[in-house]
């Protein structure tokens, strides 16, 4: 689904404006609601309800996909033309599960590589944040602590001063 979204978004001639961070922080919580709904449906043996609307599952059975799934897939692809990684950022229950695993790892003291910003070299041009496909505020701190970071390294590539935004420091 992520690859399909990236292909659809790549059809645009230029990047769309990002959603303001205060709205982004609220919208990313939707995927946790989708995850909770999935868990409840599984507990009550009704997981087939979700699979009728799940665009990822629907892609695997396109010829026999339910109408609801086709509609959701169409909406996500149309939205994906205007917004980068719409499904991954706001609706994917698997992304929510991975984020929870990262939070648990942090609580258990498991160290991981992070994107970091050399504060002495940084000129605050905001190119790193403006080019982040997950719409993260890279300038918010020295380390990118957000569990939504997918380590695509686009922020490091777009930085005009090599070595300012890097990946690799374990924290």
| Percent over 70 (pLDDT), the chain | 93
Find, among 90, 170, 96, 167, the residue nearest to 135 by Cα: 90
Tell me what pLDDT residue 47 has. Answer: 82
Residue 58, pLDDT above cutoff 90: no
Tell me what pLDDT residue 63 has. Answer: 67
For the segment 93-138, what is each residue's pLDDT rounded down to a tens digit? 999 999 999 999 989 998 888 888 888 889 999 999 998 989 999 9
CATH class in words for 111-171: alpha beta
Rounded average pLDDT over 66-76 = 80
Tell me what pLDDT residue 18 has. Answer: 82
pLDDT band at 170 (very low <50, low <70, confident <90, very high): low
Give the Å distances, CA to CA, from 57 to 4, 52, 64, 68, 124.
13, 8, 11, 12, 42
Tell me the backbone φ, ψ of residue 112, rounded to 5 degrees: -145, 160
Distance between CA atoms of residues 79 and 8, nearest Å = 9
Residue 171, pLDDT above cutoff 60: no
Quote the pTM value. Answer: 0.81
Tell me what pLDDT residue 43 has. Answer: 92
Q: Where along the chain do its domains lie?
A: 1-109, 111-171
Q: Report whether 125 contacts 160 (CB < 8 A).
A: yes
Tell me what pLDDT residue 34 has. Answer: 93
Best-predicted range by mean pLDDT (45-49, 64-68, 130-134)? 130-134
Tell which wins on pLDDT, 27 or 53.
Answer: 27
């Amino acid at each position: 689904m992520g690859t399909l979204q990236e292909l659809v978004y790549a059809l645009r001639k230029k990047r769309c404006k990002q959603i303001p961070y205060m709205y982004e922080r609220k919208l990313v919580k939707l995927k946790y609601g989708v995850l909770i709904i999935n868990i409840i449906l599984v507990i009550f043996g009704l997981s087939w309800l979700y699979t009728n609307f799940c665009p990822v599952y629907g892609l695997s059975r396109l010829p026999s996909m339910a109408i609801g799934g086709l509609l959701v897939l169409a909406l996500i692809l149309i939205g994906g033309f205007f917004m980068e990684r719409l499904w991954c950022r706001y609706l994917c229950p698997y992304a929510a599960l991975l984020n929870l695993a990262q939070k648990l790892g942090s609580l258990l003291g498991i160290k991981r590589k992070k994107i970091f910003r050399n504060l002495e070299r940084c000129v605050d041009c905001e190119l790193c944040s403006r080019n982040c496909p997950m719409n993260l505020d890279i300038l918010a701190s020295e380390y990118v602590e957000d569990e939504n970071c997918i380590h695509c390294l686009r922020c490091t590539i777009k930085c005009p001063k090599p070595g300012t935004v890097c990946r690799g420091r374990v924290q």
